Amino acid sequence: MSCRGDSDDDSCSKRRVAYVYSSVYIETCDTLSKVPNRASMVHSLIEAYGLLEHMSIVKPHLASIEEMAKFHTDSYLEHLHKISQDGDNDDPQSVDYGLGYDCPVVEGIFDYAAAVGGATLTAAQCLLDQKCEVAINWAGGWHHAKKDEASGFCYVNDAVLGILKLREKYERVLYVDVDLHHGDGVEDAFSFTSKVMTVSLHKFSPGFFPGTGDLCDTGLGKGRWYAVNVPLEDGIKDDRYYQIFTSVMQEVRAQFNPEAIVMQLGADTMAGDPMCSFNMTPVGVGKCLQYVLQWQLPTLLLGGGGYNLANTARCWTYLTAAVLGKTLSSEIPDHERDAGSARRSLTRRPLYAAGADTMAGPPCSFNMTPVGWGKVPVALQWQLPAHCCWRSHFLSCPSLPSGMCRLPESRAQSPETSPERSVCVEDLGKFVLFTK
C-alpha cells in the first residue's frame, strides 16, 4: 500500500483517521510560550484544505492527575499544579523539577499539561476502541519530559502516556521518533522493558540538546537491545534519510513484530527551521510515514518540535493529506475562520536565525532546492536557505551509511562506551541490531 500527499490512492483514502480537536484545546496549546499560536496555525491550514471532512473529529478530555501519575510522580504533578495557580516563578523547588528557562513557569501551565496529556490519551483510546486505524494529535509529542522533571519545553510526556494506554491492549508497542532531537524522555521511560521498543533518528553532537542518543545506547536490563538510536549528521536530505530510515525500520519490524505504533513527527528537521541542522522537506518525512503506515497497524501520530511556525504548519498539513491519500491544491482555499491571517502567516518570508552561519544570506535559488521539492504544492513550499555540514566532530566510518555519524575518536575507542556487542552496520541494507 502506497500513497502520497500529492496523489490519491483508494487504500489510503479508505483509511479511518481520527483527529483530536476542540477550539478550547487549540487555544490552550497556543499559550505555550516557545511555540505561540502554532496549534491554531496548524489547524487553520488543515481546515483550509478541507481535510477535516475526511476525518473523525474527536473532542479531547483533560487528563486527570491519576492518569498523568501513570508515568509522572505525584510530587512533580503536585508542584506543577501549585505553581500553575499563581504563576510563581520564584519557588526554590521549581529548579529541582526542571522548571526554569526552557520550561518557564506561567499561570495555567498545569492546565496546558493536562490538555496535551488528555488529547494523546483520547487519541490512543480511539485506537483501542477500533474507531480508527490512525489517530492524530499534532499538538502532542512532547518527548523530553521525565517522570519527575520538565525538560526541553516539555511539561508532560504525552507520548509515554499514549504508549502506556496502548499497552493496556497491545503486547508490543513501537515508538518511532523522527524529531531533530533525541527522544530521551520516552527512551528513559521504557529503557528496562522488552515490551516497548524505541527508535530515534536525531542529531547528535557535543553541546546539542539533550546530549543523549548515542549509537551504543541500546537499553538496560531486560530492555537491552530494545532502544535503537540513529545519530545523523547536519545537512542530511530526504533521499539519504529515507534510505537510513527504511534500513533500520525493516530490521526493527522483523525482530520486534510490533502490534501498535506511536510516531513522533517533529518538524524541526525541516530546512528553514531556526535549529539550522537538517535539510528535510515534507516529502521526505511523508515517505517515512508512509513506510510505517503500510504495515497497517494501529498508529498514533504526534507532533513535537518545529520552530519555524509556518513551515511546521505546512509540514503537518502535508502529512495529514498523505495519511488521507488526498491531493493538495497549489492555492490555500479561503475559509471562514481566520482565513486572511492564516494566508498571510503561511505565505510570508520565513524567519531566519540571526548570527547562524548556515542561515546567513538570502534564500537559496531554485536550483538549490532539495530533490523532490517540486512534488509539494506551491502553497506549501517556501524558499530554503543553504544548509551544509558546518561541524566536523565525527570521524568518517566506511561501515556506516553516508549521513550517519559516530563518536569522536576519543570516545569511540573507549571500552566503557563501546561494548563488544554494540549496534553495528555492515552495509546500507543490513543492520545488525539485536546480537545478544
Picking from 35, 11, 18, 2, the residue whose alpha carbon sits closest to that of residue 320 is 18
Measured between its terminal Cα atoms, the distance across the chain in Å is 34
Residue with cell 527512551: 187
Cell of residue 167, nine digits = 499497552
**Residue 322 and residue 289 in contact, taking contact as beta carbons nearer than 8 Å:** yes
Picking from 152, 193, 175, 328, the residue whose alpha carbon sits closest to that of residue 265 is 175
Q: What are the helix (H) ranges across 223-330? A: 238-256, 282-293, 309-324
Torsion angle, CA of 156/159/160/163, rounded to 10 degrees? 150
**Residue 292 and residue 176 in contact, taking contact as beta carbons nearer than 8 Å:** yes
Catalytic residue list: 144
Helix (H) or strand (E) segment spanning residue 431: strand 430-432
Picking from 215, 209, 181, the residue whose alpha carbon sits closest to that of residue 405 is 215
CA angle in degrees (0–180, nearest 5) for 131-71-110: 90
